[in-house]
Structure 1
Amino acid sequence: MRIRVLGSAAGGGFPQWNCNCPRCREARSGRLADESRTQSSIAVSADGQRWLLINASPDIRAQILATPELQPGRGARDTGIAAIALMDSQIDHVTGLLMLRESATPLPVYCSERAEEDLRTGFPILEILSHYCGTQVHNLPLDGQAVEPAEVPGIRFTPVALTSKAPPYSPHRADPRPGDNLGLFLEDRSSGRAAFYAPGLGEMEPHLETWMASADVLLVDGTTWTDDEMQRTVGGRKTAREMGHMPQTGPGGMIERLRRYPRARRVLIHINNTNPILDPASAERAQLAEEGIEVAHDGMVIEL
């Protein structure tokens, strides 16, 4: 199984278009220009030909242009994207579906019933796409049952419910329930090796222990370094935890929790533009290196 990181930043990318925080300023000035990142998304394949796109970010066009495996190569109109899995209905993870409207066939979309409801009501992308290529929606189970998408042979994944709020436009924003946000336990059917992908991990719930302990790779939430980072850096109103993300540091932070899984390759993704780990020369990046924790970047390839 091959995992290709298409985008490794949080919403807005890095640098963010309207942000003048120290990291964005340094990216524009040139010192951190090589650390630029698009909004988070990955693609997974067992054969290197047919790919499962996990989340369709607003940057999907640029991500396809940077990824030869996803580009047309077999016909006049073609793509390596065989199916799409959505982990939630957040604008940063679904807007890219609109860019795929020129598909010659309906887009196979795997998502929870809660996400589908959001995408037919509060943010009706699925209804918009019905006037273009259309979609074939497959609702994901939340009972631990694995899914083997026929479009991507050799790949199996299990949706894992994560505690989180639905987007502001969701009709059930004030009524959070399982299915609003998912993690995915991704398996190669041939080798049995697995990865746990959770870019929106707000808390380490007990039921996650089994999935994370069984994974060979943990590709998890790297949004902020501290809980109050957004407030201190750009005057944000919410902490990381209030936004549904575990900070890396502090009691119960991501670094502390990842120490429980020394066997796994541990990689942070969904990195906010305010996070000092975007600077390879920072003390924070050095601390991650001492812990054996990697920082995802666009174009990163993980082989399992």
Structure 2
Amino acid sequence: MMYLRVLGSAAGGGFPQWNCNCPQCKGLRDGSLHARARTQSSIAVSANGLDWLLINASPDILTQIRDNPVLQPARARRDSGIAAVLLMDAQIDHVTGLLMLRERGTPLPLLATPQVLSDIGSGFPITQILSHYCGVQTHALQCDGRAFAVPGLPDITLHAVALDSKPPPYSPFRGSPRPGDNIGLVLANPANGRRVFYAPGLGQMTPQLLDLMAGCDVVLVDGTFWHMDEMQRLGLSSKTALDMGHLPQSGAGGMLEHLARLPARVRKVLIHINNTNPILNEDSPERAELTAAGVEVAHDGMEILF
């Protein structure tokens, strides 16, 4: 059995966002909204329940470790269940937590595409900073369809898929995205053949990607925005969901339309949910629409076995 634990299910800023007084954040703070608080998105995967692959290191990693005791097995005076880290992209909310792991006693195995390693080696030089602390052992991922293993975690098989999304605003390639700036990940259990597809940032669906998802048992995908113009409606930004590299759930060509094409046996879960998204309100019509469509909303602490 493989274990997947959702450490954080929110988009950047978390929920409630520290400086936001939109109806969602305000309602959660004053208790008028039926919703759960969420930290910034990250998952962890293990084959034995002791040694874990951390997928994205959010700024909330210390809180997430505290809230998930399985990540601290306490086998020695200094210990961690985090055996390696894999980055899906170079976004601030997915890489900043690496700095919190600097007290590690040995170099941190870090898996990412060459594009992501370039961004966090220069534009936001986390790997350079960590070289003065624990250091990192980088492993470049190729989005060529070939399966690969994680150093120290041989029982987990993965392969990476290049997605259409955007690198972070600090990247010199923000305006000209490259394949490898953002990936989807297939996690497979070699013992039973079950597969999970993980993609917290997804700007466009393709027939090939939909076919890949149809062959998985669970899809854990981008749930950032409900509306294309969600941020504009609230006066929080002039950008659309696609401008920010995310496919909205609703509307023609939205995530829900694509998920409806998947076989009924596929478990469908949304993650990386922005604080403005009405699906966070468990009493909302949007949440009811998801339930009717058989689509779940990830929450911190959710566990998926495969």
Q: TM-score range by the shorter chain?
A: over 0.9
- Partner residue in 2 for 1:244: 245
**Deviations 1:5-27 (Å, cap 9, x if unpaired)?**
00000000000011111000011
Q: How far is the alpha carbon of 1:161 from its aligned partner?
A: 0.2
- Partner residue in 1 for 2:158: 157
Letter in 2 for 1:290: A
- Partner residue in 2 for 1:293: 295
- Partner residue in 2 for 1:217: 218
- Partner residue in 1 for 2:123: 122
Matches within 5 A, 1:166-245: 166-245=167-246
Q: How far is the alpha carbon of 1:33 from its aligned partner?
A: 7.3
- Partner residue in 2 for 1:40: 41
Distance 1:295 1:11 in 2: 17
State how many pairs are aligned. Answer: 304
Q: Which runs of 5+ in 1 are unaligned?
A: none
Matches within 5 A, 1:52-71: 52-71=53-72
Compute the RMSD of aligned alpha carbons.
Answer: 1.1
SS at match of 1:154: strand
Letter in 1 for 2:265: R
Distance 1:152 1:263 in 2: 28
Q: How far is the alpha carbon of 1:213 from its aligned partner?
A: 1.1
**Deviations 1:118-146 (Å, cap 9, x if unpaired)?**
11110000000000000000000111111
Q: How far is the alpha carbon of 1:72 from its aligned partner?
A: 4.2
**Deviations 1:129-178 (Å, cap 9, x if unpaired)?**
00000000000011111111131231111110001222122232233111
Distance 1:82 1:157 in 2: 16
TM-score, structure 1 as length reference = 0.98
CA contact (8 A) 1:121 1:171 kept: no
**Deviations 1:80-113 (Å, cap 9, x if unpaired)?**
1111000011111000000000001111000000
SS at match of 1:148: strand
Q: How far is the alpha carbon of 1:71 from its aligned partner?
A: 1.2
Identity of aligned residues (%): 62
- Partner residue in 1 for 2:269: 267
- Partner residue in 2 for 1:110: 111
CA contact (8 A) 1:164 1:202 kept: yes
CA contact (8 A) 1:231 1:239 kept: yes
CA contact (8 A) 1:112 1:141 kept: yes
Letter in 1 for 2:300: D
**Which sits farther off after the overlay, 153-162 or 121-130?**
153-162
Distance 1:281 1:172 in 2: 40
Q: How far is the alpha carbon of 1:189 from its aligned partner?
A: 1.4
TM-score, structure 2 as length reference = 0.97
Letter in 1 for 2:88: M
Q: Spell out structure 1 runs of 4+ moving beyond 4 A.
A: none
Distance 1:133 1:33 in 2: 42
Distance 1:132 1:276 in 2: 41
- Partner residue in 2 for 1:24: 25
CA contact (8 A) 1:118 1:124 kept: yes
- Partner residue in 2 for 1:83: 84
CA contact (8 A) 2:35 2:281 kept: no
Distance 2:198 2:33 in 1: 27
SS at match of 1:234: coil
CA contact (8 A) 2:196 2:220 kept: yes
CA contact (8 A) 2:162 2:183 kept: yes
Q: How far is the alpha carbon of 1:34 from its aligned partner?
A: 5.4
Letter in 2 for 1:9: A
**Deviations 1:212-266 (Å, cap 9, x if unpaired)?**
0111001001111110111102331111111111111000111110011122000
CA contact (8 A) 1:228 1:239 kept: yes
Letter in 1 for 2:284: S
